[in-house]
Chains A and B, each alone.
Chain A
């Protein structure tokens, strides 16, 4: 094989998944100056940005501004976007190994973890991830139906996704109408009867995963009053001690905010948002039609593990709370890719610092890498994926220097494009996306919204005369 990474013979890399990590990986690849690199980014949806478009809440537009950085990456010479091309359907790992020196899987975590309790399958019990994808206009989830005719909703989990769901359920239609929430979701939420939302955490205020700005925002909703039962806002002895020892200011501030919600205030707001701590659902109870009508909670106490973590333990104290709808939000989980080694127990691709590991031999699979949530699991904020991608790119560059890369039969950019277009004639380019983006933003301007999204692949293609 001639020397790879030169101007005449660039390193050809396929990135699978156009979420933040895919772009951070491309950014790192272009940032190093030792080798010439060409990147083809594959994405199963026609549009890029993954959870920035379909996960980040519609009322958090500022967080979405990170796409400006991704746009700059997409402008680099040597970058191409293959949207609406799915690995395992339109193309295979074997195809990619025929056209690229290196492949990086950055497919993220698409599904959710289940609670593993009786009644979880009842009507009215949903995954928060589905609800989030639905209100954000994800083409695969637009047909989902959520029964919002009930008065009381539960969100199980205390991460930022759980906070998002609580907030979206508690906002007024007028508040939501200023966002880029999907039109059908806005209409459904306009008709919503939900007046009380419960967020349910199994540990205490000091262990909650949500971040301080997110929890503070819950106190600033137009027509929903947030409240925490005073007994649950008070720290137990172990948490008190751990917080004092760590002198962690962020957590101290978070606890202060939660405790301020425990004070009773006169309110004329019509909705209520209740934050519950140290309770776990043990059963979802249904009516005769198989529809959720209540959840049974057990009170928890905390104990300290050998390594110092405060973990929850069930007590014998139970309560049953009438509840018409529930969303589980206890973590995202990766799904396996056809032909890629997977660690089922943790929902990640089997890897060592980003190098994909063969499950039989325990050795790295030449030319295959991973980064982001499918590499380390769903944790951290968007930017956490940048150092993570950098670690993977370091491994890729080391392997290139050591000659440990694939020797593809067709290493040309033109050949790769022809292969993709033969297998998926309706592929979307980055120029297509920029054109769609412009139309969406223009449609939004007419209504005073950041954008109005296309929510089907058909409509996207139609708008571009494809």
Chain B
């Protein structure tokens, strides 16, 4: 299965934030949309400049009282790993698990088209397995008749 099959049923816009926005705004957006990470997009650019996750914010808030007024770019991850719609789901699952990150922005010809979380990947894998088990079970039962 390919990554684009996860994105097919996620038509909503990707929630993004500017690098110079205060972290307070990032927290508000994460809460409003009930998501775990925001893609950071600079004005006039189609390629993301970074990603900021709730973990990034929690970790830094323990050492900085003034964190919420600081700009997103001060704590975002700028060495971004991105995927593409043609990526294989199983390879992506492996890479996210091994490299320990939970959100993968998806670019198509350099343009941001979506983001998938480790939760999306797990659900897609679970459903694929369930589907296969169900299909094999139906066939076995039919064979036994």
Residues of A within 8 A of B (CB): 62-63, 65-66, 68-69, 207, 242, 245-246, 248, 305-311, 343, 346, 348, 350-354, 357, 362, 375-377, 379-388, 391
Contacts and interface: CB of A to CB of B under 8 A. Distances in A.
Interface stretch (B33-41, B44-52, B69-77, B137-145): B137-145
A62 B143 contact: yes
A207 B88 contact: yes
Given A306-B83, A307-B82, A387-B131, A62 B11 contact: no
Interface stretch (B2-10, B21-29, B59-67): B2-10
Given A207-B88, A309-B86, A384-B132, 12 more contacts: A65-B141, A245-B94, A307-B95, A307-B104, A351-B11, A352-B10, A352-B11, A362-B13, A376-B8, A381-B132, A384-B128, A391-B9
B91 A65 contact: no
B127 interface: yes
B122 interface: no
B17 interface: no
A69 B94 CA distance: 35
B132 A354 contact: no
22 contacts: A62-B143, A63-B135, A245-B94, A306-B83, A307-B87, A308-B92, A310-B88, A311-B86, A352-B9, A353-B10, A357-B12, A362-B11, A376-B6, A379-B5, A382-B135, A383-B132, A383-B133, A384-B128, A384-B132, A384-B135, A387-B130, A391-B9
A69 B131 contact: no
A60 to B, nearest CB: 9
A345 B3 CA distance: 14
A383 B134 contact: yes
Contact of B127 (A242, A308, A354, A388): A388
Contacts of B68: none
Given A248-B90, A305-B84, A386-B131, A65 B12 contact: no
Nearest to B7: A346
A353 B9 contact: yes
Contacts of A381: 131-132, 135
A348 B5 CA distance: 10
B81 interface: yes
A245 B98 CA distance: 10
B18 to A, nearest CB: 20
A307 B81 contact: yes
B103 to A, nearest CB: 12
Interface residues of B, number: 41
Given A62-B143, A348-B8, A375-B8, A383 B92 contact: no
Contacts of B139: 62-63, 65-66
Nearest to A310: B91
Contacts of B142: 62, 65-66, 68
With a 10 A CB-CB cut-off, give which of B7, B86, B87, B134 has the most chain A CB atoms: B134
A246 B135 contact: no
Given A305-B83, A309-B92, A377 B11 contact: no
Binding site secondary structure of chain B: helix
Contacts of A248: 90
A246 B94 CA distance: 7
Contacts of B10: 352-353
A362 B3 CA distance: 22
With a 10 A CB-CB cut-off, give which of A68, A309, A346, A354 has the most chain B CB atoms: A309
A207 B130 CA distance: 21
Contacts of B1: 379-380
Contacts of A346: 4, 7-8, 85
A93 B142 CA distance: 38
A66 B135 contact: yes
B90 A246 contact: yes
A377 B4 contact: yes
A383 B12 contact: no
Given A65-B142, A307-B87, A387-B127, A351 B133 contact: no
Contacts of A65: 138-139, 141-142
A384 B81 CA distance: 29
Contacts of B82: 306-307
A20 to B, nearest CB: 10
Contacts of A375: 8-9
Contacts of B131: 380-387
Contacts of B130: 383-384, 386-387
B132 A376 contact: no
Nearest to A348: B8
Given A66-B135, A66-B138, A343 B8 contact: yes
A305 B8 CA distance: 21
B91 A309 contact: yes
The 8 A-B residue pairs whose C-beta atoms are closest, nearest first, are: A384-B131, A65-B142, A383-B134, A308-B95, A383-B135, A307-B83, A383-B131, A308-B91
Interface in B93-142: 94-95, 104, 126-128, 130-135, 138-139, 141-142
Contacts of A63: 135, 139
Contacts of B5: 376-377, 379
A69 B127 contact: no
Contacts of A379: 1-2, 5
Contacts of B143: 62
Nearest to B143: A62
Nearest to B80: A306
Contacts of B128: 380, 384
Contact of A306 (B6, B81, B86, B135): B81
